[in-house]
Structure 1
Amino acid sequence: MKVSLWTDKKLIKGAEPVFLKGHKKTGILLFHGWSSSPQELNPDYVPSTAKYLNSLGYTVYIPLRIGQGTRAEDLDGLHWEDWVDDARKHFDLFLKEVDRVIVGGMSMGGQLALKISVERPVVGVIAMGTPVFMNMDPLFRVWAWLNRKNRKMMHKRYLPQDREIAMKKIHYIEYPAYQLYENAKASWEIRKILPEVKAPILVVHSANDNVVDPMSAKYLLKKVGSKDKQLFWVKNSYHSFTTDRNSGVASKVMGDFVNRISR
């Protein structure tokens, strides 16, 4: 498959899209998180979720989302609706390569997977670390609203115990301040459509999530319209658990889910 890029700018090394060909008719489309890159789901320093799922015979595609993988300033001007439209294009492109699609994603990538699942034919959904509520959510919402028109660049802050792992990720360490509002808006929009999510769903969330309130996982499981739904807690990992020590454990659970629903 000719992988689609949103830009002809020079990419950060390691931020390239991932396409791993498999022999099965079902493919897996994964979206990385906000300000991140495909490496989030295909790291080389812990067991890779993408490579594990591909080893089971599935074609795996992790596109580089619009505005990502170059420089943080390229996020300026982008909104939730732009990322949804971008996700639709990648789904339609991937469906030309496989007969059926399972869609998933990390963090905002999980929100995009949920959105796509109500608009496109999918076999199942994998929602990883997907935000409905942020840690200190009331404060976050106020801060996001106050910065909704602020385009000044802001730096991310990391807890000491998370900094080492976070610095291994290929991602932006700064962002336009108004992007906080776009993240909040994404969570609001996703809450509205959860009853419309009917496909089998696996919710995977870090029990120690330092960014997204773990209550989000329980809320998702309760509100989705799916009859086939499952929740798995990843222990001793931070928000992007696919880049942390227990990524292999989480990948195995995802593989079991994918094998079951794609029979």
Structure 2
Amino acid sequence: MREPVMKGAEAFYKEGNEVGVIVLHGFTGTTQSMRPLADAFAKEGYTVACPKLIGHGTTPEDMEQTTAEEWIQSAENAYAWVKNKCERVFVVGLSLGGTLSLYLAANKEIDGIAVINPAVDVPELVAMAKSELRFVDSIGSDIKKEGVNELTYHKTPVRSLKHLRNLMSKVHEQLSEVRAPLIVFVSEEDHVVPPENGQMVFDMAFSEEKELVHLENSYHVATLDNDQDLIIERSLEFFDRHINAKVE
């Protein structure tokens, strides 16, 4: 039986028009980190699915029992919900959410993808996965803006890091299968995922239309940081541009 969900970590689903946006949070994080984006997209009339990834938003001990396949399933379930209601589907993801967004783009019919500090090659996390400890320190709440905190776990299950390592490797190998229009947001200073990951995704994706946006005033959890408004604005422009392009 799963643990109770933290207050503020609940999944968010909102029916709107025939354009759907899946919004995916990061590793050991929660939907709290993505709600500003999800709320902004819903306010514009889009159908929004912001799932709580299995094992997240409860306890580190609960997360320890989950697998990367279950995180993928969480994303695929959100995709199925949106696809059942919408003609077009966009995906937006932070960190692990970016990794899962790329997975969906490589394996499903996606109209556009926006990733924020996506994780595909993180040597420090891979090294942490080799620890003989059961838990290591928290990797959450890397935010530059004062007074803002991410709702995240206070410790990280090593078993989960091993699943993350394997998922990053799988998605890294599938980047050439990503063909949908792509926008990559990259924080110039990130203490969790090296900024080179964003450049790697940009370079290796086979999307004909892609752009790289540098975030100069945010750390890893940029969706809660100083560049939050920029991410929302550019994402909405991205959706609008590719919706209209397809109509034409």
- TM-score over 0.5 (shorter chain): yes
1:15 aligns with 2:9: yes
Letter in 1 for 2:116: M
SS at match of 1:96: helix
Q: Does 1:119 align with 2:107?
A: yes
Say if 2:84 is the partner of 1:96.
yes
Aligned to 1:213, which of 189, 194, 198?
194
User: What's the counterpart of residue 225 of structure 2?
Assistant: 244
Hey, what's the Cα distance between the residues in 2 that align with 1:158 and 1:83? 18
In the TM superposition, 1:53-92 aligns within 5 A as 53-92=41-80
Deviation at 1:36, TM superposition (A): 0.9
Cα distance 1:33–1:99, how it changes in 2: closer, same or farther (>3 A)? Answer: same
Aligned: 1:26 with 2:19: yes
Q: Contact 1:165–1:243 at 8 Å: present in 2 too?
A: no
Counting matched residue pairs gives 244
Shift of 1:170: 1.4
How has the CA–CA distance of structure 1 residues 165 and 127 changed in structure 2, closer, same or farther, with 3 Å as cutoff?
farther
Give matches, 1:55-204, under 5 Å.
55-134=43-122, 137=123, 139-144=124-129, 146-147=130-131, 150=132, 152-156=134-138, 168-204=149-185
Provide the alpha-carbon RMSD of the alignment: 2.2
| Deviation sequence 1:124-166 (CA, Å, 0-9, x none) | 11111101233xx2x543342x23xx56122316799759666
1:172–1:193: structure 2 CA closer, same or farther, 3 Å change rule? Answer: same
Partners of 1:63 and 1:245 in 2: CA distance: 24
Closer/same/farther in 2, CA of residues 163 and 255 from structure 1, 3 Å limit: closer
Measured in 1, the distance between the counterparts of 2:53 and 2:139 equals: 23
Q: Give, in whole Å, the separation in 1 of the partners of 2:198 and 2:147.
A: 22
Contact 1:114 1:125 in 2 (8 A): yes
**Offset at residue 74 of structure 1 (A):** 0.6
**Counterpart selection for 1:37 from 30, 33, 49:** 30
Structure 2 Cα separation of the partners of residues 155 and 211 of structure 1: 12
- State the shift of 1:96 in Å: 1.7
Which whole-Å CA distance do the structure 2 matches of 1:73 and 1:10 have between them?
A: 12
Identity %: 25
**SS of residue in 2 equivalent to 1:262:** helix
Task: Structure 2: state its 5+ residue gaps.
Answer: none
